[in-house]
Amino acid sequence: MDVEILSRMQFAFTIMFHYIFPPLSIGLAWLMVAMEAAYHRTKEPEYEQMARFFTKIFAIIFALGVASGIVMEFQFGTNWAIYSRYVGDVFGSALAAEGIFAFFLESGFLAVLVFGWDRVSKRFHMVATIIVACGATFSAVWIVIANSWMQTPAGFMIEGEGLYQRAVITNFWELVFNPSSVQRLTHVLVGAMIMGSFFVLSVSSFYLVKGLHESLAKRAFKIALPVALFFSLMAPFTGHFHAEQVAATQPAKLAAYEGHFKQTGEGAPLWLFGIPSVKEERVKYGIAIPGMLSFLVHGDFTTPVPALDDFPPEDRPPVQIPFQMYHLMIFLGTFNLALTGFAAIQWYRGKVFETRWLLWTFVFAVLSPAIANQAGWIAAEVGRQPWIVYGLLRTSEGLSEAVVAGQVLWSIIMFGLIYALLFSLFVYVLNEKIRNGPEPLTADGTEHDGFLDVATSRADPASPYKLSGMREPSSDD
Binders of other proteins among 68-87, rule CB under 8 A?
68-71, 73-74, 76-79, 81-82, 84-87
Which residue, 388, 398, 396, 387, is CA-closest to 312? 387
Between residue 170 and residue 189, which ones bind other proteins under the rule CB under 8 A? 170, 172
Cα–Cα distance, 287 to 39 (Å, whole number):
50
- Which residue in 1, 5, 96, 287 binds other proteins (CB under 8 A)? 96
Backbone angles phi, psi at 343, to 5 degrees: -60, -35
Cα–Cα distance, 338 to 357 (Å, whole number):
15
**Closest approach of Cβ 386 to other proteins, in Å?**
14
Interacting span for other proteins (CB under 8 A) from 93-101, 198-206, 246-254, 378-386: 93-101
Count, residues near other proteins per rule CB under 8 A: 97
DSSP one-letter code for 460: -
Q: x/- contact string, 189-228, with other proteins (CB under 8 A)?
A: ----------------------------------------
Which residue, 201, 234, 191, is CA-closest to 31? 201
Please give the angle made by the CA atoms of 113, 115 and 116, to the nearest 5 degrees: 65
- Which residue in 55, 178, 250, 340 binds other proteins (CB under 8 A)? 55
Q: x/- contact string, 437-456, with other proteins (CB under 8 A)?
A: --x-------x-xx--x--x
Cα–Cα distance, 229 to 140 (Å, whole number):
22
Q: Which is nearer to other proteins, 86 or 271 (CB)?
A: 86
Interacting span for other proteins (CB under 8 A) from 214-222, 258-266, 281-289, 466-474: 466-474
**Closest approach of Cβ 81 to other proteins, in Å?**
4
Under 8 Å between Cβ of 386 and 315: yes
Q: Which is nearer to other proteins, 37 or 422 (CB)?
A: 422
**Closest approach of Cβ 177 to other proteins, in Å?**
15
3-class state of residue 168 by DSSP: strand
Q: Which is nearer to other proteins, 7 or 250 (CB)?
A: 7
**Closest approach of Cβ 84 to other proteins, in Å?**
4
Between residue 14 and residue 53, which ones bind other proteins under the rule CB under 8 A? 52
3-class state of residue 153 by DSSP: coil
Cα–Cα distance, 177 to 180 (Å, whole number):
8
Between residue 225 and residue 254, which ones bind other proteins under the rule CB under 8 A? none
Q: Is 63 in the site for other proteins (CB under 8 A)?
A: yes
Q: Which is nearer to other proteins, 7 or 245 (CB)?
A: 7
- Which residue in 4, 9, 44, 88 binds other proteins (CB under 8 A)? 88
Interacting span for other proteins (CB under 8 A) from 240-248, 271-279, 281-289, 404-412: 404-412
Which residue, 381, 370, 363, is CA-closest to 27? 370
- Indicate the pairing of strand 156-159 with strand 387-389: unpaired
Please give the angle made by the CA atoms of 420, 425 and 429, to the nearest 5 degrees: 155
**Closest approach of Cβ 13 to other proteins, in Å?**
13
Torsion of Cα atoms, 16 then 234 then 321 then 11, to 10°:
-20
Decide: residue 424, CB within 10 A, 0-12 exposed, 13-18 middle, 19+ buried: exposed
Q: x/- contact string, 411-440, with other proteins (CB under 8 A)?
A: x--x---x---x--x---x--xx-----x-
**Closest approach of Cβ 125 to other proteins, in Å?**
11
Q: Which is nearer to other proteins, 59 or 371 (CB)?
A: 59
Interacting span for other proteins (CB under 8 A) from 18-26, 115-123, 194-202, 224-232: 115-123
Q: Which is nearer to other proteins, 240 or 466 (CB)?
A: 466
Q: Is 54 in the site for other proteins (CB under 8 A)?
A: no
> What is the full DSSP assignment across 99-128?
IIIIIHHHHHHHHHHHH-TTTS-HHHHHHH
3-class state of residue 274 by DSSP: strand
- Which residue in 12, 16, 37, 60 binds other proteins (CB under 8 A)? 60
Under 8 Å between Cβ of 399 and 80: yes
- Beta-bridged to residue 271, according to DSSP, are 288
Please give the angle made by the CA atoms of 330, 336 and 340, to the nearest 5 degrees: 150
Q: Is 91 in the site for other proteins (CB under 8 A)?
A: yes
Which residue, 127, 130, 111, 98, is CA-closest to 62? 111
Between residue 374 and residue 403, which ones bind other proteins under the rule CB under 8 A? 393, 397, 400-403
Between residue 134 and residue 173, which ones bind other proteins under the rule CB under 8 A? 159, 162-166, 168-170, 172
CB atoms within 10 A of CB 343: 23
